[in-house]
């Protein structure tokens, strides 16, 4: 069925209105009328073709909240009228060990997981098209239930990527009471990392390059804020962190953070810069048995767990609502780290 969307036709062309084809719901499919879609930095990396293998035309958007308008005959998870979410994945092999463990983002099948946009083909064309659109058809396995109130829904959209991408490492590396947790970069991911680590009971230190975000970081739940460009402020935290989650969208020096880890501490990279980071020095890692790790989004069960936790605790993203037509201006501000703290598209502007 024909659906309005915003697409970049090439890495050089600005996003503009277009019409895309969505599949009619099959037996296990859910058709969702999109209400809100968050704007992730990955959308920008993709629309500009910054990563390898991006498919065009590109319709970004993987922080989707909407209402179910139609379901296939075998769908049991949701009903017409339900408010639901869709994140970064819309399919996976379902049979490998990772899929079996509910960690579909690490699917070991021939294609890996199917990304919500720029994903592998599944019989419906050479590309998947994301949430900068009026509607989307998704297999029920990849549809999340949203229990927040209707007034909160725009702020729920960013939980589907920014929320789960920080939640998953915080949980895996046991952020909680008695743990000192750092969050590097206060953008979409980072501001959710602060909120979630705080709600999990950890002592939270926010690292930012933007002096202007100091008070906001405290308001978001950070116990301390460090301006990462200040070597003295950094040195005051040497050998003290159990976990640091690095959300920075640009290449930077990792040693500055590795040296802040206590023995057995971990620096976990979730930011995905276009250019690689300079290689970390070996000795700070040896002398302290420190780890450098990475983490990708999160599986479907843990995404539901995070959404339920946030609904219970009243957690949403801090957002700035935009019209679909304002997306290029939003990207320009994102490149200047000037987002407080997630743009969310009101999809009524497209319809």
Residues that bind ligand NAP (CB under 6 A): 40-42, 45, 161-162, 165, 185-190, 208-210, 213, 247-250, 252, 270-273, 295-297, 334, 337, 339
CB of 189 to ligand NAP, least distance (A): 3
Q: Which of Zn ion, ligand NAP, none is residue 298 near (CB under 5 to 8 Å by kind)?
A: none
Residue placing its CB nearer to ligand NAP in the complex, 296 or 345: 296
Q: Is 116 in the site for Zn ion (CB under 5 A)?
A: no
Question: Which residue, among 38, 44, 37, 62, has the nearest Cα to 298 in the 3D structure?
Answer: 62
- State the nearest-atom distance from the C-beta of 92 to ligand NAP, in Å: 15
Quick one: which of 50, 57, 72, 93 contacts Zn ion (CB under 5 A)? 93
Whole-number Å distance between alpha carbons of 40 and 135: 19
Distance CA 67, CA 146 (A): 10
First to last CA, the chain: 15
- Rule CB under 5 A: say whether 42 interacts with Zn ion: yes
Among positions 65, 107, 143, 175, the unique one binding Zn ion when judged by CB under 5 A: 107
In whole angstroms, the minimum distance from the beta carbon of 181 to ligand NAP comes to 16
In the complex, the smallest distance separating the C-beta of residue 166 from Zn ion, rounded to whole angstroms, is: 11
138, 128 contact by CB (below 8 A): no
Q: Which is nearer to Zn ion, 190 or 265 (CB)?
A: 190
- 272 touches Zn ion (CB under 5 A): no
What is the dihedral sign for C-alpha 344, 37, 276, 175? positive
Closest-by-Cβ residue to Zn ion is 40
Q: Does 57 bind Zn ion (CB under 5 A)?
A: no
Given 70, 77, 96, 255, the residue binding Zn ion (CB under 5 A): 96
* Least Cβ distance, residue 91 to Zn ion (angstroms): 10
C-beta of 105 vs 259, nearer to Zn ion: 105
Judged by CB under 5 A, does residue 118 bind Zn ion?
no
Separation between Cα atoms, residue 241 and residue 224, nearest integer Å: 13
Shortest spacing between CB 44 and ligand NAP, in angstroms = 8
The least distance separating ligand NAP from the CB of residue 24, rounded to whole angstroms, comes to 30
Which of 92, 168 has the CB closer to Zn ion?
A: 92
Picking from 313, 182, 309, the residue whose alpha carbon sits closest to that of residue 247 is 182
Residue 273 touches Zn ion, criterion: CB under 5 A: no
Residue with the CB atom nearest ligand NAP in the bound state = 187
161 lies in the binding site for Zn ion (CB under 5 A): yes
- Please, what is the minimum distance in Å from the beta carbon of residue 198 to ligand NAP? 16
Closer to Zn ion at the Cβ: 188 or 265?
188
Q: Does 102 bind Zn ion (CB under 5 A)?
A: no
Backbone angles phi, psi at 200, to 5 degrees: -80, -10
Of 130, 128, 120, give the one whose Cα is nearest residue 15: 130
Separation of CA 298 from chain center: 9
User: Which residues in this chain contact Zn ion in the complex, by CB under 5 A?
Assistant: 40, 42, 92-93, 96, 99, 107, 109, 161
């Amino acid at each position: 069925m024909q659906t309005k969307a915003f697409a970049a036709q090439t890495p050089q062309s600005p996003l503009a209105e277009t019409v895309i084809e969505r599949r009619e719901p099959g037996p296990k499919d859910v058709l969702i009328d999109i209400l809100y879609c968050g704007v992730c930095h990955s959308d920008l990396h993709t629309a500009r073709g910054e990563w390898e293998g991006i498919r065009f035309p590109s319709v970004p958007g993987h922080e989707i909240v909407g209402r179910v308008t139609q379901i296939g005959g075998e769908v049991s998870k949701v009903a017409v009228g339900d408010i639901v979410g869709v994140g970064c994945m819309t399919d996976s092999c379902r049979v490998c060990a990772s899929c079996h463990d509910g960690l579909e983002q690490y699917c070991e099948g021939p294609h890996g997981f199917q990304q919500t946009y720029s994903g592998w083909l599944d019989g419906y064309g050479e590309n998947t098209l994301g949430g900068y659109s009026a509607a989307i058809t998704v297999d029920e396995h990849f549809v999340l239930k949203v229990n927040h109130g209707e007034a909160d829904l725009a702020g729920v959209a960013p939980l589907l990527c920014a929320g789960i991408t920080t939640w998953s490492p915080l949980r895996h590396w046991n952020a909680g009471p008695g743990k000192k947790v750092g969050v590097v970069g206060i953008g979409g991911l980072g501001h959710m990392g602060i909120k979630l680590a705080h709600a999990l009971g950890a002592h939270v230190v926010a690292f930012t390059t933007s002096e202007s975000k100091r008070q906001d970081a405290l308001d978001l739940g950070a116990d301390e804020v460090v301006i990462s460009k200040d070597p003295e402020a950094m040195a005051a935290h040497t050998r003290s962190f159990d976990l640091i989650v690095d959300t920075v969208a640009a290449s930077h020096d990792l040693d500055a953070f590795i040296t802040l880890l206590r023995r057995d501490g971990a620096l976990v990279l979730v930011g995905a810069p276009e250019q690689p980071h300079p290689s970390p020095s070996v000795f700070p890692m040896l002398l302290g048995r420190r780890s450098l790790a990475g983490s990708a989004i999160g599986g479907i069960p843990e995404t539901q767990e995070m959404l339920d936790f946030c609904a219970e605790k009243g957690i949403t993203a801090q957002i700035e609502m935009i019209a679909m037509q304002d997306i290029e201006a939003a990207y320009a501000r994102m490149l200047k780290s000037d987002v407080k703290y997630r743009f969310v598209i009101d999809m009524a502007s497209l319809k």
